């Protein structure tokens, strides 16, 4: 088991790793729209936050030796299902291989963000 760390994704804000590689698989922790350069959530709308989430995931996938095209499963959390169409449009630009996915509405997310996404990918 290997802990994956990159300065190009937000630091973990709790007792967990950014990602873990094990047995040819990469498991990312849920990513929110924190800009790793500033440590804050800069985007206020779902489009901007989703773009930042995808940048964070891309950095983790790359650091772990994988990519969006090798994703096999994602779990997506939205604070408001009314944001689904915009979120889905941006998500689809990155996950072009269409991995399996769950997408659920939740009551609240860390730092009051609008979305969070985690990925399982092959190496």
Q: What CATH number has the domain bearing residue 102?
A: 3.30.1330.40
Per-residue buried b or exposed e for 16-33, using 16+ beta carbons within 10 Å of the residue's own CB: eebbbbeeebbbbbbbbb
Full pLDDT tens readout for the chain, 123 residues: 999 999 999 999 889 999 999 999 999 999 999 999 999 999 999 999 999 999 999 999 999 999 999 999 999 999 999 999 999 999 999 999 999 999 999 999 999 999 999 999 999
Separation of alpha carbons 66 and 121, rounded Å: 7
Which residues are catalytic, by number? Answer: 103
98: domain range? 2-122
Structural domain count, the chain: 1
| pTM for this model (two decimals) | 0.97
């Amino acid at each position: 088991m290997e802990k994956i760390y990159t300065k190009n994704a937000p630091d973990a804000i709790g007792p967990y790793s950014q990602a873990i590689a094990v047995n040819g698989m990469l498991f990312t922790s849920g990513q929110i729209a924190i800009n790793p350069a500033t440590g804050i959530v800069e985007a206020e709308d779902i489009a901007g936050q989703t773009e930042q989430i995808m940048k964070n995931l891309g950095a983790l996938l790359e650091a772990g030796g994988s990519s969006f095209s090798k994703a096999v499963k994602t779990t997506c959390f939205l604070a408001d299902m009314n944001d689904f169409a915009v979120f889905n449009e941006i998500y689809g630009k990155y996950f072009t291989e269409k991995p399996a996915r769950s997408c659920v509405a939740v009551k609240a997310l860390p730092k009051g963000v609008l979305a969070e996404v985690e990925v399982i990918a092959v190496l």
